[in-house]
Chain A
Amino acid sequence: MTPAPRTRRPSLSRRLWGRHHAGLIGVVYVLPAVAFLAFFLLVPILEAFYYSFFDWDGVHAIFVGLGNYLHLLHSITFQQIAINNVILLACIPIWTLFPLVLAVMLHGRVRGWQFFRLAIFSTTALSYTVIGIVWAYIYSYNGPFNALLSLFHVGRVDWLANSVTAMGALVVTAIWTFMGTGLIVYLGGLGAIPPEVLESAKLDGASGVTMMRSIILPLMKRYVEFFGVFSIINAFTNLFALIFVMTNGGPGFSTTTMEFYIYVDAFSNMNFGEASAVGVLLFVVMLGVALVPMKFLQTGG
């Protein structure tokens, strides 16, 4: 019987680190990126949480415990601002599904689909400030939208100066801004659906709303879920530039969201402590509203 070959004893370093040796090198590689993220992301988050318990004007900080939070919860202004966020949340279904409708139409290769796809996606290349300026002009009293309405003998409205219409105008602009991204997400998803599934549904007589409800939506659930959460995050944290340029949060506080109020409270009211508290509240709210739809969609199986 041939004796088993003798294996060399592993080196000290290999015996010390063992199978973690290769992993350690990976850690070293990612360490700069992690350090960068920790410094510029984690530290500010923790500092915001810390300062939310202080009355801080940027120079002097006085501990007030839960004072900032209690003040916000009892503030009529903040209640109105919270309602504005609820309005945004209520618009999320349209925000999420409108690009899906466009994607289904384009997926059907309507005439000029390549042009329409390019035109819709081009919105993602524009800065929010530019979009806000252009739409503010469109909504202006002497702007093209009112000119179009006057052709149908509808009176002119200063859309952004009316507390009832200003929020609606802002939401329409936001949906327009983000529909390009949704289009690309959904077109990718529709491309993954086997064509024979849609063909056989058509042969069975499904079309339009039935096709959308019974075939496309169930198959696109993961993509709708993803873009839904993405839309919620954008609605709550990515409208600052549009609001600043179009309405500056007005008239009154009718288009001030929690995100915008962080800026107002910090730099206009010099109330950095309370602004930090708003930031913490926004984080908690966003976490909740982002997780609920995911849970809702997951229970569908």
Chain B
Amino acid sequence: MSKKSKVFALSTILLLVSATSLAGSTTSSASDHTTLTFWTYFTATQAEHQWIMAAVQNFEKHHPGATVQIVPQPRGAQYFSLFDAASLGKTGPDILNLWTGLYALRYGNYLVPLNKYLTPAQKASMIGLKYTAQGFNTDNSIYGIVSELQSYEGFYNKTLFHQAGINSYPTTYSQFLQDCAMLKGHGILPIVDGAYQAYNMFSYYLMNYLTASQITGLKDGSIKWTDPRIMQALTRYVALYKDGYVNPDTLTNKDPEQMFLNGKAAMILDAGSWNVPVFSKALGSNVGLMFIPQDPGAPSYGNVVSFPGWMTSVTSYSKHRQLALEFIQDALQPAVSGAMAKAGLVPADKNIPADMLADPLQKNLYQRTQTGHIWPMFDNLIQANIADAMNSVFGSAITGGVTPTQALSQLQQAWDSLPARQK
């Protein structure tokens, strides 16, 4: 081996070693400026983004040396997978939005308890704060603040209803089915569904058979998914699809809202309060709220799904924890809560005056939530992986791939497969 080759080999190794060590080294910045990273699944076109911008602007006004970088992430199960993976490597954000309930509480190890950073008045003013706390009890660790009261509900196109000869709002389930048949008879698609999530519409079928407090039975297993009551709820729910009242491409239709806005369907029932700003703007007084009726005497008759569906939290591994906590504090100021109302959404704030809610649908929803007949978003109160499995097996049931009995057996099997720590 020549001397040149030896020198070349040694030089290569030294170069590689120093490159590796340089890549691993951290250089501290001499700048005083701090950037907080904020993860959200709300896109810039969604009304909730206005609240986020108001919170960011309020914070930056009070902290001239800091900026907040908003990082949009994909929605749904992918969002949680990304957060999980980032948190394992402690490369996640400083602040983030999460769906409340068990969606977020399984990440308690990665979130800062906010109890000592919130005053009693702040805790009392937030509607549904308990759903951000362990055991749904604010005496335990509170992992986020809530900003919006969301609802699952449907919307209907009044013009299409009139075209089918329907001049009154259905108050019973049989009237609701009759209206679907009349719409179908007039060549109008009764219901459009897509971007499929089972728990929206299914909530209203479950209300026929369970009280709100019984939802925890589904979580802890005291009420099995194969319970006859759940079976009856699913059978009625699946019948809506089997009878041809819903578009046949439910599982692959990516944009049902646009179909509803274009007047291609009379109702969209897999929707929520977050649709109010867009639907009101596009359809004006032609759009109304639609709630699937329950049977008289049902355990949760006339209830409306109303729940603080998402929260804002601080990660426990954030390198700027104190600053992130100050962001949370600033986000609770009235100027920021007001932004939620102005965006056409319902703030989860008891101190918001009702006359701030300008949109008639928004006000209607707010008034319904004040009646006390409310049902939580049950998918937030059961294990997140069971909610995911529900979407999957119910999707198979509505297309006839499995019977309701088989679907619920699979769901129960998924629950039985959970590790003990998740039950």
Contacts and interface: CB of A to CB of B under 8 A. Distances in A.
Interface of A: 21-22, 25, 28-29, 31-32, 55, 57-59, 71, 75-77, 136, 139-142, 156, 158, 160-164, 248-254, 263, 267-271
B402 A29 contact: no
Contact of A76 (B5, B413, B421): B413
Contacts of A71: 417
A252 B249 contact: no
A238 B417 CA distance: 27
B399 interface: yes
B81 interface: yes
Contact of A271 (B251, B392, B419): B419
B248 to A, nearest CB: 6
A268 B385 contact: yes
B224 to A, nearest CB: 15
Given A162-B401, A250-B396, A251-B392, A77 B106 contact: no
Nearest to B10: A28
A163 B109 contact: no
Interface string B388-423: 100111011001111000010010011001110110
Contact of A270 (B106, B392, B414): B106
B1 interface: yes
Contacts of A55: 419, 421
6 residue pairs, one from A and one from B, having the closest CB atoms = A141-B249, A163-B401, A161-B251, A267-B81, A251-B396, A252-B396
A252 B81 CA distance: 20
B251 A251 contact: yes
B250 interface: yes
Residue picked from B5, B13, B396, most chain A C-beta under 10 Å: B396
Contact of A141 (B248, B393, B407): B248
A75 B413 contact: yes
Nearest to B1: A25
A251 B395 contact: yes
Given A32-B13, A77-B417, 4 more contacts: A25-B5, A158-B249, A250-B392, A270-B385
A65 to B, nearest CB: 14
B102 to A, nearest CB: 11
B298 interface: no
Contacts of B253: 141
B44 interface: no
Contacts of B399: 158, 161-163, 251
Given A58-B84, A75-B417, A253 B248 contact: no
A271 B106 CA distance: 12
B354 interface: no
Contact of A28 (B13, B81, B88, B106): B13
A21 B410 CA distance: 64
B419 A268 contact: no
Contacts of A25: 1, 5-6, 9
B380 to A, nearest CB: 16
A31 B251 CA distance: 51
Given A136-B252, A141-B252, A269 B385 contact: yes
B77 interface: yes
Contact of B252 (A22, A158, A267): A158
Nearest to A248: B392
A160 B196 CA distance: 13
B385 A254 contact: no
22 contacts: A55-B421, A58-B84, A76-B413, A77-B414, A139-B252, A141-B253, A156-B248, A158-B249, A160-B251, A161-B249, A161-B250, A161-B251, A161-B399, A163-B399, A163-B402, A164-B401, A250-B396, A251-B251, A252-B392, A267-B84, A268-B384, A269-B418
Contact of A21 (B1, B9, B252, B395): B1
Nearest to A76: B413
B80 interface: yes
